[in-house]
Amino acid sequence: MNHGDTEARRAELNRLTERVIGLCIEVHRTLGPGLLESVYEEALAYEMGLARLNFARQAEFPLRYKEVVLTCGYRLDFLVDGKLIIELKAVNAIEPIHQAQLLTYLKFHRLPLGLLVNFNVPVLKDGIRRIVSGDLFRTRDGLDDET
């Protein structure tokens, strides 16, 4: 992949991420914190439908272990446009295990970027984490180049 292709792909993912974050903010603005994760999932699915985003909700996530496929019951909360994984939470705080979970999903799907969104916060921007897997969004120092 050349530099131009990388920049175009990065820009496309950033635009998609911004759209999804805007929809998450709308859900949070309307509902506020303190509800079950399933309520936020339902509301976000509604908003993404209105926005005409292509998404899969509760997409099955079989794991490949060597030469077998394990059907362990893992599901992605959302896979948007086949490019962006959204993992929703409604917890007191995002824990390292939540970030590891999304990072694992990204690695198994060979996707570079996901959003971890915790709706149980007073201000949603404090509950959003961009999780990067691979090199598309990394700078020379190995850090996410945009938060």
Q: Where are the beta strands (DSSP E) in the chain?
A: 55-60, 63-65, 68-70, 75-80, 84-89, 113-118, 128-132
- Percent of the chain's residues with pLDDT above 70: 87
Q: What is the DSSP string of 105-140?
A: HHHHHT-SEEEEEE--SSSGGGGEEEEE-SSTTB-T
Which of 6-15, 46-55, 62-71, 131-140 is the least confident region? 131-140
The confidence band for 147, taking pLDDT boundaries of 50, 70 and 90, is: very low
CA 85 from chain centre, in angstroms, equals 4
Burial (CB < 10 A; 0-12, 13-18, 19+), residue 86, is buried
- Global pTM? 0.85
pLDDT for 136 equals 56
Query: Bridge-partner residues for 6, per DSSP?
Result: none
In the chain, where are the structural domains located?
A: 3-132
Average pLDDT over residues 76-86: 95
